[in-house]
Structures are given as structure tokens and as C-alpha cells.
Amino acid sequence: MTHHGSKEALDRVDHLAVPVRDVAEAVAWYTANFRCSVAYQDATWALLDFENTRLALVIPDQHPAHLAFSSDQAARFGTLVAHRDGTRSTYVLDPSGNSVEIMAAD
């Protein structure tokens, strides 16, 4: 797939993160109403796998609502921080002030 005539591969959306009041309650609702699987869950966040993307359910005071991209150029956006699930990323703001997480592709 190309973008605007470029031969380079397009970046991949890794996940979308939405704030929830209660992670367990949200996981129960999403899994009861949609065909998805739980990739990770603890008291403060969960990651659900869907056919075409992943959904992170986050506690607002720990993670902002955000869109996450996987990039082999993630380090150019800032210092990559290691997370408890083994991933590394950094957060930036887009021109409108939305949080965007840039995940290392490795």
C-alpha cells in the first residue's frame, strides 16, 4: 500500500485509549457486547484485541485518552520510556493538543 505515490509502508495504529471509571467493569461490558479478547488486564488498565485494532481502557489520572502509533522512528519524538508490558514509547501533543503515543516498533 502506498501513500501519495510513496513506496514506503504506512504507519500502523497500535491502539486507541479511552478513559474509564472502572477497568474491570469496562472490560466486562466490552467483552459482553463485542467480539474481542483480553490481551492484558490489571486494576489500572486493560488492552483488548479486536480484528483491526486494539483498545486500551485506562484510568484517567494515570493515562490520558490517546491514539497510539507504532513507528520505527519513535525515538525521534522523544525519550522512550519502558512500560510494564515490555513496550517502549513517548507521548507528544498534536497541533490541537490531543495526546499521541508513539510506540517503538521493535
pLDDT at 84: 83
Domain ranges in the chain? Answer: 12-104
* DSSP reduced 3-state for 91: strand
Model pTM score? 0.84
**What's the average model confidence in pLDDT over 88-106?**
95
- Report, as an integer, the average pLDDT of 56-72: 94
- The per-type count for the chain, helices as H runs and strands as E runs, is 1, 8
Q: Which CATH class is domain 12-104?
A: alpha beta
Q: Which of 62, 59, 66 minimizes the C-alpha distance to 17?
A: 66
pLDDT above 70 covers a percentage of the chain that reads 93
- 91 contacts 97 by C-beta, under 8 angstroms: no
Under a CB-based contact definition with an 8 Å cutoff, are residues 66 and 9 in contact? no
